[in-house]
Structure 1
Amino acid sequence: MSDVPEQQQAPEAAAPLTRRERRASSRRGPQVLPGRALLARPLTMVTTMAFAALVGLTSYASPGFVAVSVALAGLVLAWGWPQLLSLPSPRGTSTVLAVGTVLMTAAVLLTDEAPYLQWMPAAMAVSVIAAFLHQLMRRDGRPRLAESVSASVTGLAVISAGIALAPIPEVLHGDHALAAAMAGLGVGVLADPLIKVPLLRQWALFISMVLGGLAGMVVSVVADHPRLWPAALLGLLAAAVSHAARRVMAVLPATAMARAQLAVGASSSLLVGVVAYVVVRYFVA
């Protein structure tokens, strides 16, 4: 009897689809998005509108108050970010993000003259080092190490984007420009429920941009801002970036939880900061 094992038979190839089956499959289309991605989260919407109202009002008070408002959103993000991404070391990650928020806010508050973000790279670098030190000090065997590090650094990047809102009132007409951007952010979120309507789902982003642009123009007219179209551009881009961020994060399973919904609202609001800062620097200043 031979010691050579018998060769296993190759599995039979699946039968090809008929022309009728291929046509039926193409008509149905792939079911890509889960059901939770098609839900408008009221707590996320309220968080976004509250952030927009707070920053919009403080823009007329002082850049310091704007920085504190952004820091509050950063702390909310630090609290809910680990749950949103289901990270293995939630307390340590929240601590890193909170420390980063404090450092980057202090870097802006302690700068009295332009460029107001000159110490932001140093604060960001220290925060990233703290994120790596957190991983070194973990005592749980460090599961999902790469995912945890990347999530911490991404959270710090989102917070740093929001900190860019703080120096905008220092620019000529910057307070009106920041108010226009926040109006676009707060009004644009009203298009979120449209994702539940199949016929309007693909137009939700466009409708949000239109609402945001109109809101920015209204603020410009009410505040007697001399530049109408930059205000409309600020509102349009703020609504677009925020809406797109919420749609991306809506597929995460943890968005059913309240803390994660707060994190989605805070992160989608903070991401607007860099866009608003660039528009103000090149079209308003």
Structure 2
Amino acid sequence: MKPWTIGTIGLAGLAVFVGGAYTSPEVLLGVAILVALAVGIGWPHFLGIPAKKTLAAIIGLPGAGSAVAATYVPAPGFLDWTPAFIAAGVMAVFLMQLIRGTGQAQRLESTLGSSAGVLLSCLGAGWIAASRFNGVKEMLLVAGISAAFALLAGLIRWPDRIVAPLGIVLAGLTAPLAGLIFSNIAVIPAAVVGVVVGAVLVSLRRLVILRGDAINIPAAIGMGLAPVAAVGSLAYFIDKLLIY
């Protein structure tokens, strides 16, 4: 799989998240659960670590649980249960490594990488929180548009020293424009969203390049959707901090 294929998967996941936010809470919940499970399945393949099936459950199920909680907990604590699911997932990762015993291959890589996967999987609940927050979905649209431009920049087959700044700049410029056109969001909060989202996406693009082309389909799907899942939480917290 080439890096541009992973970027295309990310764009598709982004479109599904934004579309789900504008349909119904049940649809968005279904999208968040499917993405969490896809990240759970694909992340161990991307890392190339052992015990992929067990780790798929450990990474994916906390993300699904976090999405369910974000859908049904009373406002305003939409993500109050997310830290608990992250902690449970990380504890399960460490417990699994203890069960595997000493001397097993890639224990450190598996522990650290799987813990990061749990975090990314659970952050997908941020899309639901951002959708429920004040009943206003414009910040999600702004974050989605800026993320799309960052992902599109990542499809360009140029060196990272060019693509990374380009992706951040495009996301940072696109977000305020989207905010002015599609909502009443002020320029500065929208620009902050764009820059932060762009920085996260181009950083994870670097991981794909370092990993190389020798990745399978589950790995491509997991890596394409993982950063997109994080975008929702970024939009939610920036919305809450700078606008509310």
User: Normalising TM by the smaller chain, what interval?
Assistant: 0.7 to 0.9
Query: Does the CA contact (< 8 Å) of 1:178 and 1:276 recur in 2?
Result: yes
Equivalences for residues 220-259 of structure 1 within 5 A: 220-253=179-212, 255-259=214-218
Match of 1:183 among 136, 140, 145: 145
The yes-or-no answer on 1:217 pairing with 2:179 is no
| Coordinate RMSD, CA, aligned | 2.6
Tell me, yes or no, if structure 1 residue 197 matches structure 2 residue 158.
yes
Local SS of the residue matching 1:171:
helix
Q: Runs of 5+ in structure 1 lacking a partner?
A: 1-38
2:221 counterpart (262, 276, 285): 262
In the superposition, relative to structure 1, how do residues 197 and 154 fare at CA in structure 2: closer, same or farther (>3 Å)?
closer
Partner of 2:74: 112
* Cα-to-partner distance string for 1:221-242 (whole Å, 9 max, x where unaligned): 3323242432233233212211
Map of 1:128 onto structure 2: 90
Among 115, 130, 135, the residue aligned to 1:168: 130
Q: Once the 2 structures are TM-superposed, how far is the Cα of residue 112 of structure 1 from its aligned partner?
A: 2.3
Spell out, residue by residue over 1:217-264, the C-alpha distance to the aligned partner (whole angstroms, 9 max, x if none): 343233232424322332332122111111133211465433222222
Q: Indicate the structure (1 or 2) with the bigger Cα radius of gyration.
A: 1
Distance 1:273 1:169 in 2: 9
Paired position in structure 1 for 2:46:
84
TM-score between the two structures when normalised by the length of structure 1: 0.75
Task: Tell me, in whole angstroms, the C-alpha distance in 2 between the residues paired with 1:144 and 1:247.
Answer: 22
Larger relative contact order, structure 1 or 2 (CA cutoff 8 Å, min sep 6): 2
TM-score w.r.t. length of structure 2: 0.86
Question: What letter is aligned with 1:264?
Answer: M
Match of 2:11? 49
Task: Quote the sequence identity (%).
Answer: 22
Q: Which residue of 2 aligns with 1:61?
A: 23
Kindly indicate whether the alpha-carbon contact (under 8 Å) linking 2:63 and 2:124 is maintained by their aligned counterparts in 1: no
> What's the secondary structure of 1:61's corresponding residue?
coil
> Residue 174 and residue 142 in structure 1: after superposition, are their counterparts in 2 closer, same or farther (change >3 A)?
farther
Letter in 1 for 2:128: A
Partner of 2:108: 146
Contact 1:164 1:277 survives alignment (8 Å): yes
Cα displacement (A) at 1:214: 3.6
| 3-state secondary structure, aligned to 1:87 | coil
Q: CA deviation at 1:174?
A: 3.7
Aligned residues: 244
Structure 2, unaligned stretches of length 5 or more? none
